[in-house]
Amino acid sequence: MTKTIRSIAGLARAGLVRPEERSKLDTVASRYAVAVTPILAAAIEHASDPIALQFLPSPDELITTPEERADPIGDSVHEKLPGLIHRYPDRVLLKPIHACAVYCRFCFRRETVGPGARALRKVELENAYDYIRAHPEIWEVILTGGDPLLMSPARLAEIVGALDSISSVRTIRIHTRVPIVDPDRVDDAMVQALRVKTPVWIAVHTNHARELTAPARASLARLADAGLPLVSQTVLLRGVNDDADVLEELFRSLVECRVKPYYMHNPDLAPGTSRFRLPIARGRSLLRSLRGRLSGLAQPTYVLDLPGGHGKVPVGPDYVGPAAEGTIEDPWGRSHAYPPPPDRD
């Protein structure tokens, strides 16, 4: 296999869908984009393995539940200009393109991303730069989408260069899955496009250690060797990674690849994704079981993005007992007294 598979017929030819599901899957594919890169297609071992579950469409995507919404985290509430989302004072999202190398079946932007969705026009990008210049409190610009690393190195260099020339922008961040799912795109020209005087941080999205193939690790190494700091984001997904051993292996592998686990997201309320969701209590107990057995470098923050555009909040386990008790729990669940500060009155 040398080309990305983008249709149910293509998946059928590769033996990745069951014939009796094809008509339902055609309906799914007409609603939500499908793309599976060769490296992922090759990594799929069976229908319920963690790669298959993340990228192969399922008839369950036709089931929507009442709490699901087209814009699960309220991006549109804060969309100041096409492709520019300003929710927090010090940072904006800029979405130059709406296509991805692969389409995750749990994507929270599944209603807006896809090969048919249009990229920002030159004038729209210029307007976004003007907005950023006019708001010097914007300290960080986060390129996301769509996957920004799907752009050609020349286009990427143009955008990164434009942001680099805005003196109030002190950090650029790029959210991407490309280094993992289409690692050959991270070539010298792309790395060169990211080497500007403003620090460029790369946030890679990955959910299972099986995604970290040898070529994926090599592409992460190219980015790290170029001096680009790397962090990761993972979505907690039922059946994919809701297991302490699986998360431990993923987070350890990331640190070994010089990637600091940053966020573990609770899955958003995107349409047709209920099969992936699990109770917050489950995520808390998984992370609790990793504390005390896994390096602090490998511990992400468990966050949830509130519906309606109200922002991300940490929802991870906490260890502080009720104030009156003055106790703290250790990683193994035993309670210990911790003295309050001396009374100063």
Ligand X SMILES: *Cc1c(COP(=O)(O)O)cnc(C)c1O
**Is 142 one of the binding residues for ligand X (CB under 6 A)?**
yes
Closer of 78 and 238 to ligand X (Cβ): 78
**Is 138 one of the binding residues for ligand X (CB under 6 A)?**
no
Strands of 5-102 (E only): list them. Answer: 79-81, 84-88, 91-94
**Is 175 one of the binding residues for ligand X (CB under 6 A)?**
no
Annotated catalytic residue 107: yes
Written as six digits, the tokens of 79 are: 């969309």
**Is 264 one of the binding residues for ligand X (CB under 6 A)?**
no
Whether residue 192 contacts residue 153, with contact meaning beta carbons closer than 8 Å, is answered with yes
Q: Collapsing DSSP states into helix, strand and coil, what is residue 82? A: coil
**Is 87 one of the binding residues for ligand X (CB under 6 A)?**
yes
Annotated catalytic residue 345: no
In the complex, which residue's CB is closest to ligand X?
87
Question: How buried is residue 223: exposed, middle or buried, by Cβ count under 10 Å (0-12/13-18/19+)?
Answer: buried
**Is 88 one of the binding residues for ligand X (CB under 6 A)?**
yes
* Given 32, 71, 95, 100, the catalytic residue: 100
Written as six digits, the tokens of 344 are: 């100063």
Annotated catalytic residue 109: yes
**Is 84 one of the binding residues for ligand X (CB under 6 A)?**
no
Tell me the site size for ligand X, rule CB under 6 A.
Answer: 9
CB of 144 to ligand X, least distance (A): 8
Closer of 115 and 314 to ligand X (Cβ): 314
Stretch that binds ligand X, among 24-32, 55-63, 81-89, 245-253 (CB under 6 A): 81-89
Residue from 16, 25, 93, 200 touching ligand X (CB under 6 A): that is 93
Closer of 86 and 210 to ligand X (Cβ): 86
Cα 77 from Cα 308, distance rounded (Å): 8
Annotated catalytic residue 49: no
Cα 191 from Cα 224, distance rounded (Å): 10
Q: State which of positions 210-239 bind ligand X (CB under 6 A).
A: none
Q: Which amino acid is at 190?
A: M
Written as six digits, the tokens of 232 are: 């990761």
**Is 312 one of the binding residues for ligand X (CB under 6 A)?**
yes
- DSSP secondary-structure letter at 182? S
Helix, strand, coil shares, percent, the chain, to 5: 35, 20, 45
**Angle between the N-to-C axes of helices 153-164 and 122-134, in degrees from 0 to 180, rounded to the nearest 10:** 20
**Is 319 one of the binding residues for ligand X (CB under 6 A)?**
no
Name 17's Cβ contacts closer than 8 Å, sequence gap at least 6: 8, 11, 25, 56, 57
Other CB atoms within a 10 A radius of the CB of residue 78 amount to: 16
**Is 85 one of the binding residues for ligand X (CB under 6 A)?**
yes
Closer of 289 and 299 to ligand X (Cβ): 299
Catalytic residue set: 87-88, 91, 100, 104, 107, 109, 268, 305, 312
Binding site for ligand X (CB under 6 A): 73, 78, 85, 87-88, 91, 93, 142, 312
